[in-house]
Amino acid sequence: MRVLAVENYGGTGLGQLGEALLEAKASIDYIRPHSTGELPDTGREYDAMVVLGGGQNALDDSGSPHFPKLLDMIREFESDNKAVLGICLGSQLIARAFGGDNKIGGHNEFGWQDVSVTDAAAADPVFHVLPEIFPIFQWHDDSFTLPPQATLLATGAKVANQAYRVGRAVYATQFHFEADRKLVSQWNETFADAVNRLDPDWLAKYPGLASEKGPRADAAGAALARAWIATI
């Protein structure tokens, strides 16, 4: 199993998704087009692709000139019936690739928030593993409308479109299910200035929130990671 992981922004990482991929004996090619500007000419040598998050918006082709080619690769994988996973910015790029509208700004969520699965999740090969309501880590300001052919799988009180599927195995999550407590703690340090701007009290609240919300969020994220890997 060979998986292409696309880092769109420095310091993000695969978190517990990476651990689940290694557990499944996957070979991971981790690339950073945000710094190199390079993507593979084709995705045909890969079995699946993960598109990670980032601070830029999904329409920022000038700041992220690899976006148009990445959109083509997302569509290529879907056409070849291969698994794709988009997280946060990745979910917004998938929406753009398949005809959804990107909503820039005004949809801020940060920290652990409750998300609910939809009725369609019960029959979904990935999302059926999740409880009806679960906490999960969020960090975004943008959102999107669903592509015409998408199936909504999870929703939230503030931002409705939290997760969806296109075709057999193109999955997109607005939330960061890869971000277990270990990765969130790293982000607290790596992105300290951004965290402080979003919530000046975050670091003081963090130990209590991590203890209260973290175990259930980590469990949901790990289950989701393993279920998605099973679609590859």
- Is there a contact between 99 and 151 (Cβ–Cβ < 8 Å)? no
- Is there a contact between 3 and 232 (Cβ–Cβ < 8 Å)? yes
H/E/C letters for each residue in the chain?
A: CEEEEECCCCCCCCHHHHHHHHHCCCEEEEECHHHHCCCCCCCCCCCEEEECCCCCCCCCCCCCCCHHHHHHHHHHHHHCCCEEEEECHHHHHHHHHCCCCEECCCCCEEEEEEEEECHHHHHCCCHHHCCCEEEEEEEECCEECCCCCCEEEEECCCCCCCEEEECCCEEEECCCCCCCHHHHHHHHHHCHHHHHHHCCCHHHHHHHHHHHHHHHHHHHHHHHHHHHHCCC
Residue 215 clears pLDDT 90, i.e. is over it: yes
The residue with tokens 């950073």 is 32
Number of domains in the chain: 1
Closest to 129 in 3D by CA, of 117, 114, 113, 112: 117
Residue 186 clears pLDDT 90, i.e. is over it: yes
The mean pLDDT of 223-230, rounded to a whole number, is: 98
60 vs 219: CA distance, rounded Å: 33
46 vs 66: CA distance, rounded Å: 18
Q: Mean pLDDT for the chain?
A: 97
| CATH code where residue 100 lies | 3.40.50.880
pTM of the model: 0.96
Q: What is the pLDDT of residue 203?
A: 96
Residue 96 clears pLDDT 90, i.e. is over it: yes
Q: What is the pLDDT of residue 37?
A: 79
The mean pLDDT of 18-24, rounded to a whole number, is: 98
Domain around 111: 2-229
